[in-house]
Structure 1
Amino acid sequence: MSLENTAEKFGSLTKFLHWIIFMLFLLQYFLVYRREFLPNDTQEKMRYLLLHKSIGICVLILAAIMIYWRRIGVRPKNPSSMTSKERMAAKYTHILLYIVMFVMPISGILMSLYAGYSVSFFGFFNLPMLVSKNETIGGVFYQIHVLCSYFVIALVAFHAFAALYHHYVRKDDVLKRMM
């Protein structure tokens, strides 16, 4: 399998980035919702939060790599059977997915920093505290982070539904290109 994309299908790097970012988003949701069932002020709850922050940084880095890879590489052509509305929906869904891959981790980082908490990358280093504590601004980034989390769920569900629709109803190769 080729590392690079072709006009017919995605290469192994694009597939890897696509699926690892998806898996990290799933893990993020698990960490957040699992943490809610733990008693406050426990070591385990803090470990979930620290892991959540570190994985968020990973998502941000991988998203930047994915955007760069997309810009320098080719993209497989859409099936000729796709309507102009389907092409437009696919284009804007992908744009929105790329945006949330940046907004989610950045809003989480800013939420923590403005709340006065450091953001560690798996304990190796902390991101610099570039802002002063401001709980009001931190609250705004919290709201952005939470709202964006619901938006991500809707976007990913729509994206998955469209892929399954193409595979089972349209019977084209849209899903196969990413498998």
Structure 2
Amino acid sequence: MNTHSKFIKVTHAISAILIFLLIASGFYMQGIDNIDNMIAMYDWHKSLGVLLIIITLIRLMFVFRSAKPTDATEHGRVEVLIATITKVTFYFLLLSLPLSGWVMTNAAGFDVSFFGLFDLPKLFVDNELTMQLASKTHSILVNAITILLILHILAAAKHHFMDRDNTLRNMFLVNAGNAFYYLILSSAIMLLLTFSWHILTKKEVNHQTHESAHEQAHSQEHGMGDKPHDSLTH
């Protein structure tokens, strides 16, 4: 049975983990009131976003040129078309989502650091309108990739449990029993419920706390201690 290469499987797994961490941390950050915790979470969130860009660019260099598993060639035209559209949409979101966060951070007057090792180049100078537009775009893209991720996992479960083909097995390094795949399906359902709860109970973000956190983080990065700065909404 022909299957995906180990490289494709590993980078796919890394991307999946990063997406889950980014979505979870993004939702979690909206309820943080402690400034120190918020600073730490923001730094990790941004660094993971940069890592996602790197992994996605690496994947793009190989994934469309790699051989398709045997089962993939046996799917109907409609399924192949849907799979192709989904793949292209995923890669668009995997790049545009962290890029919008990068723009949002720069436009708010702050640098994007990669795990404290170095700062990324600034894409935009301080601009309130650009920051607000990037923030709205970021939120829309988060919702889009969450919904697409849910559908993607449910589709993989459909292939495994209903079609009984090897589509889902082809994406894992080791063969796993049905219990493992039930766990994947359960994770999708939990993600769906969490996302629905977040949308239905969404509350206003504590912007003042976010502003203070960004000001303090900015001061620490530039060795300015507690010197006050102009407030910038994120």
Q: TM-score, normalised by structure 2?
A: 0.70
Structure 2 residue 131 is the aligned partner of structure 1 residue 138 = yes
CA-CA distance at 1:75 after TM superposition: 2.6
Q: Answer yes or no: is the 8 Å Cα contact 2:105–2:131 preserved in 1.
A: yes
Letter in 2 for 1:165: K
Find 2:33's aligned residue among 21, 32, 39: 39
Q: Which runs of 5+ in 2 are unaligned?
A: 173-234
CA-CA distance at 1:141 after TM superposition: 1.1
Match of 2:82 in 1: 89
Find 2:20's aligned residue among 21, 26, 35: 26
Structure 2 residue 161 is the aligned partner of structure 1 residue 168 = yes
Q: Answer yes or no: is the 8 Å Cα contact 1:53–1:108 preserved in 2.
A: yes
Q: Answer yes or no: is the 8 Å Cα contact 2:53–2:98 preserved in 1.
A: yes
Deviations 1:8-67 (A, max 9, x none): 211111111111111111111221222222215x11111000100000000000000000
Match of 1:10 in 2: 4
CA-CA distance at 1:129 after TM superposition: 2.2
CA distance in 1, matches of 2:48, 2:79: 33
Find 2:44's aligned residue among 35, 44, 51: 51
CA-CA distance at 1:79 after TM superposition: 4.5
Q: Answer yes or no: is the 8 Å Cα contact 1:17–1:62 preserved in 2.
A: yes
Find 2:110's aligned residue among 105, 114, 117: 117
Q: Answer yes or no: is the 8 Å Cα contact 1:114–1:134 preserved in 2.
A: yes
Deviations 1:115-138 (A, max 9, x none): 111100111111122422111011
Give the share of equivalent positions with the same residue, in percent: 26
Q: Answer yes or no: is the 8 Å Cα contact 1:79–1:174 preserved in 2.
A: no
Letter in 2 for 1:115: A
Letter in 2 for 1:106: L
CA distance in 2, matches of 1:72, 1:97: 17
Letter in 2 for 1:66: R
SS at match of 2:63: helix
Match of 1:159 in 2: 152
Structure 1 residues 72 and 117: CA distance shift in structure 2, 3 A: same
Q: Answer yes or no: is the 8 Å Cα contact 1:110–1:141 preserved in 2.
A: yes
Structure 2 residue 88 is the aligned partner of structure 1 residue 104 = no
Letter in 1 for 2:159: H
Which shifted more, 70-79 or 43-52?
70-79
Q: Answer yes or no: is the 8 Å Cα contact 1:79–1:172 preserved in 2.
A: no
CA distance in 1, matches of 2:30, 2:123: 29
CA distance in 1, matches of 2:4, 2:28: 34
